[in-house]
Structure formats: C-alpha cells, structure tokens
Structure 1
Amino acid sequence: MEELWIRQDPIRLDQVLKLANWVMSGAEAKMVIQEGMVLLNGEVCLQRGRKVQVGDRVDFEGQSLLVKKLPSDMAES
C-alpha cells in the first residue's frame, strides 16, 4: 500500500486522486468518483468533495493508499 503525505487535514477526495497521480484533472476525478470507481475506507464514495482524514484508506483501480500527515517540521520546508 502506498502512502500519501499531506500538509493539511482534511483534504478533498478529488484532490487525493490528483495528488496520487491517479487522474490528470479535477474533471477526471469527478467522473471516476461519480461512476463509483473510488473506495474510501472500503466503501464506494460518490462525493468528490468528501473530506479525507489522516488514517483514511483510498482505493482506485487496484491501487491503495493510506493518507498520512507530514510532521510539522517537514511541512514548512
């Protein structure tokens, strides 16, 4: 499972897909989310603006990632 390190918590689901390089645009993220292709913590999520928290798991097309928070000393650099 991959890890996605974020500076701010929470983050929108569509932003997670873009940061993970799973989609190329917000429009593509919206499409795959609305088509039920994205799981948040094991459940289909149809809301692109859904808030994703540190510790959440996101799955898309056989790929998984765990959202983690950058330590504050690393987030400033």
Structure 2
Amino acid sequence: MIEFELNTEYIELIKLLKLLRLVESGGQAKLFVEDGLVYLNGEVEYRKRAKIRKGDQVQIDDQVIVIK
C-alpha cells in the first residue's frame, strides 16, 4: 500500500499514476485507464482526468494508493 499526501484540492488520475511511477509514461497511464485496469474507490474508473481527492483509494494491478 502506498500513502500519498495530497497538498492541493485534487490531482488528476493519470498525473497521480505518473507521479508515483506506477506507469512508464502518460500514454501508458491513459491506456491503463481506457482498458479498465484502474479502480477508484473499488469501481473501475474510465475517466483519465478523474479528480482524485483526500480519502480516495486508487488501485492499479496489485498496488493500492490511499490519498491522505
């Protein structure tokens, strides 16, 4: 599990994945989201620019990211 400290109101989903280096590039992040491989709060998230806020939980593969 990864804990991510959010210092702004939100972060876009693909930016979070790139920032945490869970993907190799922005293009790969977009493909993962489009292919339904990313979950937001337990449900598949297809919006590449979904606003991730404090209290959210993102999962990609076996990695779980908790937003603090």
1:36-64 CA-partner distances (Å, limit 9, x unpaired): 00000000000101100011000001110
Question: What secondary structure sits across from 1:59 in the alignment?
Answer: strand
Show structure 1 runs of 5+ residues with no match.
69-77
Q: In structure 2, what is the equivalent of residue 47 of structure 1? A: 47
CA distance in 2, matches of 1:2, 1:25: 19
Aligned counterpart, 2:25 = 25
**Structure 2 stretches of 5 or more lacking a match?**
none
Which residue does 1:72 correspond to in 2?
none
Residues 1-77 of structure 1: matches in 2 within 5 Å? 1-68=1-68
Hey, which bits of structure 1, 4+ residues long, moved more than 3 A?
Answer: none
Scaled by the length of structure 2, the TM-score of the pair is 0.92
Which of structures 1 and 2 has the bigger CA Rg? 1
Q: Distance in 2 between matches of 1:34 and 1:16?
A: 15
Identity percentage of aligned residues: 37
- TM-score where L is the length of structure 1: 0.82
Moved more, 14-23 or 29-38: 14-23
| CA-CA distance at 1:29 after TM superposition | 0.5
Report the residue type matching 2:55 in the other structure.
G
